């Protein structure tokens, strides 16, 4: 079932990945998708559009994902938005830091397929 009322923000500087995610989540699953290529754009889009879910990379230009997440959580409208981290970093320190900031999931890019992520997104949005 397509759900055009649900908004997802993808904050990812790797254009091929963000385009693939956008295609799958909008065309196939029917979500309303916004894309930002760095943390600065991601933060302003998140505060303006108030997405139902954010897919967030950590290593990005201008502002990294952890900084964006910290700033998002300080804003009234950003405290409760579910966030799924997408990263190539798998060290415990990043996982712990993300969990302290209220991240819902932490996915290592090399460990998942787009279909797996789409299922995870659907689960989070139906909670």
3-state DSSP assignment of residue 58: coil
Gap between the Cα atoms of 12 and 6, Å rounded: 19
Q: Is 65 exposed, middle or buried (0-12, 13-18, 19+ CB in 10 A)?
A: buried
Collect the ranges in the chain with pLDDT lower than 50: none
Please report where in the chains the tokens 């290593």 appear, as a residue.
Answer: 59
Contact present, 3 and 49 (Cβ < 8 Å): no
In a domain, 127, yes or no: no
Domain count along the chain? 1
CATH number for 38: 3.40.50.2300
Rounded to an integer, what is the distance from CA 96 to the centroid of its chain? 17
Per the structure, the complete domain to which residue 25 belongs is given by: 7-121
pTM as predicted: 0.89
126 part of a folded domain = no
The tens digit of pLDDT for each residue in 2-32 reads: 565 899 999 999 999 999 999 999 987 889 9
Burial class of 10 by CB neighbour count within 10 A (0 to 12, 13 to 18, 19+): buried
- Specify if 2 maps to a domain: no
How far from 50 is each of 44, 45, 88, 90, 95, CA to CA, in Å? 10, 8, 26, 28, 24
Does residue 74 lie within any of the structural domains? yes
Confidence (pLDDT) at 55: 95
């Amino acid at each position: 079932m397509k759900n055009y009322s649900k908004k997802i923000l993808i904050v990812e500087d790797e254009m091929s990945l963000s385009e693939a995610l956008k295609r799958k989540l909008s065309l196939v699953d029917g979500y309303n998708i916004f894309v930002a290529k760095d943390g600065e754009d991601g933060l302003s889009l998140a505060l303006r559009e108030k997405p139902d879910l954010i897919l967030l990379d950590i290593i990005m230009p201008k502002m990294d994902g952890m900084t964006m997440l910290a700033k998002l959580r300080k804003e009234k409208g950003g405290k409760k938005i579910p966030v799924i981290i997408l990263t190539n970093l798998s060290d415990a320190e990043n996982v712990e830091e993300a969990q302290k900031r209220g991240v819902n999931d932490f996915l290592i890019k090399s460990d998942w397929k787009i279909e797996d992520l789409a299922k995870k997104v659907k689960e989070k949005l139906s909670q």
